[in-house]
Amino acid sequence: MSIDTLAQEHPGPHDVSHIRKVAMWVFLGSEVLFFGSLITTFLLYRTRIGDGPGAAEIFDIPFTSVSSFILLMSSLTMVMAHHSASRKDWRQMRVWLVATAMLGIVFLSGQVFEFTEFVEEGLTVSTSPFGSSFFVLTGVHGAHVAVGVLLLLATALMSFTGRLRDGEGMNVEIIGLYWHFVDVVWIVIFTVVYLMQV
């Protein structure tokens, strides 16, 4: 990778949308290492189940597949929101933003339900290193989804005031990048943590 391809050699007039997108992609690069550390911990501990239940006994693949599918589809609604925003169709944009947030909330509810089930079946954070690493990895991901839901709802609400109208398309695009990234992380978690362990 040559230096020239890393950035244009002659930066033009400062374009705020460009500046923000660079910042967001830089941040997401960092998040890759963040989730990488958590997934590594899980992979190291996936078979260290002590006296507690293991992955094959406890995972409910059909249930998790459905909730994974829901999160995946939220990326579709998110990109539709961005599309509406770029056409300055604020009403449609709000509809898609709220739809995305709702799908996120459904996913989070599924996670809460799943966690409760697991605890009832005898897997907690202190049962085994497997339990610790599973709950912390998926929990931290859930926290990212929750932050995303807050951002989506806040943007939808603020768009009513009209104060951020000029920057709206930009905000939706940046939040979209974050949201898609959180979805992409779940794509990896669903495969590596769930499907490959049963």
Site for another protein in 145-184 (CB under 8 A): 154, 158, 163-164, 166-167, 176-177, 180-181, 183-184
Tell me the closest approach of the beta carbon of residue 180 to another protein, in angstroms.
Answer: 5
DSSP 15: -
Touching another protein, residues 86-145 (CB under 8 A): 86, 125-126, 128-129, 131-133, 135-136, 140
Distance of alpha carbon 168 from alpha carbon 106, whole angstroms: 26
Judged by CB, which is closer to another protein: 31, or 114? Answer: 31
Rounded-to-10 torsion of CA 41, 46, 52, 58: 120
Tell me the closest approach of the beta carbon of residue 164 to another protein, in angstroms.
Answer: 8
Q: What contacts 122, CB < 8 A, 6 or more positions away? A: 52, 53
Tell me the closest approach of the beta carbon of residue 63 to another protein, in angstroms.
Answer: 11
Question: Taking CB under 8 A as the rule, does residue 63 contact another protein?
Answer: no
Say if residue 132 is exposed, middle or buried (CB neighbours under 10 Å; 0-12, 13-18, 19+).
middle
